[in-house]
Amino acid sequence: MRHALIRRLAPLAAVAVITLTAGCSVADKVATCTAATQALTEFTSKAGGAATDPAAFNKAATDLGTKLEDLGAKTSDSALKEVLTDVGASWKKINISDPAGAAAEITKIQESSQKLATACGS
């Protein structure tokens, strides 16, 4: 079950990277959207390497959540701030040792990723 969750989360982060890269056309949001894209790219790399190590995967997810929340705290755009804070909180709650809880957070992350793409201008 854990491996299935990892297989669902890594591509989700990759899709978010593509979506955010395409959506960062508004000049005042470019730095924040670019930093979010970089954080998601780093997570995708770490998650792939942690496929058999739940603790490493959970740490990578928590680190991503913290980075996204920090970006939300720094931006002056209220919509971007809200969505980065929400999606960051969801990533921090991921624990692949709790498949049911992780699945619920995956759903929230999918919804937040769409909001994040919209906030970044796509």
Q: What is the DSSP letter of 1?
A: -
- Give the tens place of pLDDT for each residue, 10-54: 555 554 544 444 444 355 688 899 999 899 889 888 888 777 888
Please give the pLDDT value at position 23. Answer: 43
For 89-113, what is each residue's pLDDT tens digit? 989 998 888 888 888 888 888 888 8
Is residue 122 within 8 Å of 19, Cβ to Cβ?
Answer: yes
Q: Are 105 and 10 in contact (CB under 8 A)?
A: no
Average pLDDT, the chain: 80
* Bigger pLDDT: 1 vs 87: 87
Measured CA to CA, the distance from residue 56 to residue 49 in angstroms comes to: 9
Kindly give, in sequence order, each residue whose CB lies less than 8 Å from that of residue 114, ignoring residues fewer than 6 positions away.
Answer: none
